[in-house]
Amino acid sequence: MNIWKWLSIILIVLNIGFFVWLYSALSGTYDDKPEAGDSHGEAQGLQIILPNATVETFINDALRTSGSDNITVDISTEEITLHSVNQIFGASVNTVFNIEPDIESDNIIFHISNIDIGSLPLSQDALYTVITRAAELPEGVSFSEDTKALVIDPSLFEEDLPEGIQIETIDYGSDAWYFSIER
C-alpha cells in the first residue's frame, strides 16, 4: 500500500514538472525591439482599417456619451452627413451639414460643403455664421473661425479608445478609415 502512495506522488510531481516546462517553453517575452535597420521600412505599429458603418457607430456613440443626443452622423461611400435637431423659439429645426473629412495636426476636420437649416433661403456663409453663433457643441467639438469647418479634438474619443490609437487617413468613398496603433 505504501508503494502506491509514493508512485502517485512521483506521478503528480512529474505532471507538475511537465506543465511548468510547457508553460515556460510557450510563454515568451514580446517586448523585444527590432535592431536598428531591422524594420524593413515598415511603420512602428499596427494599422487597422475600419468600414464606414463602424466609424459611424463609434462617432454617434461618442457624441451621445458627451451629451449630444440631438446630433447624429451618417456615413456612406457617397457622402458624410451630420444631422442635428434643435429647438429654436419653441420650434424644432432640422439642420443638415454635408461634410468632407480631413486630418490636420491630429485634429479631425470636417469641411462643410453644404448647410441646410430648416430650408432657410440664405447663403452658405450666412447659414454658417448663424449656426456658429447659435450652436451649443459638446466639449471637444468646435467650429473653425477661418474656414467653414467643424473641428473635432481627438481627446473626445479618449474614453472609448486606448492610448496610442491615431487616425491616419480617411477614405470613406472606398469604405475605409485607416487607424494606427503605436507600440
Distance CA 107, CA 86 (A): 26
What mean pLDDT, rounded, does the chain reach?
76
> Which one is predicted more confidently, 28 or 12?
12
> Which one is predicted more confidently, 76 or 154?
76
Give the C-alpha distances (Å, rounded to integers) separating 128 from 52, 73, 77, 103, 149. 26, 18, 25, 21, 9
pLDDT of residue 85: 83
Other beta carbons less than 10 A from residue 2's beta carbon:
6
- The gap between the terminal CA atoms of the chain, to the nearest Å, is 59
pLDDT, one tens digit per residue, over 87-143 is 777 778 888 889 888 888 777 888 888 888 887 787 888 778 877 777 777 777 888
Of the segments 5-14, 38-47, 122-131, which one has the largest average pLDDT value?
Answer: 5-14
Mean pLDDT of 75-84: 88
Distance CA 71, CA 56 (A): 12
Complete edge-to-edge strand list for the sheet that includes strand 71-75: 71-75, 80-88, 91-104, 107-117, 149-152, 141-143
pLDDT of residue 164 exceeding 70: no
Please count the helices (runs of H) and the strands (runs of E) in the chain. Answer: 3, 9
> Which one is predicted more confidently, 49 or 181?
49
pLDDT band at 32 (very low <50, low <70, confident <90, very high): very low
pLDDT of residue 78 exceeding 70: yes
Per cent of the chain over pLDDT 70 is 79
pLDDT of residue 160 exceeding 70: no
Distance CA 90, CA 170 (A): 38
111 φ/ψ angles, rounded to the nearest 5 degrees: -70, 130
Dihedral (C-alpha) 149, 154, 156, 160: value to the nearest 10 degrees? 140
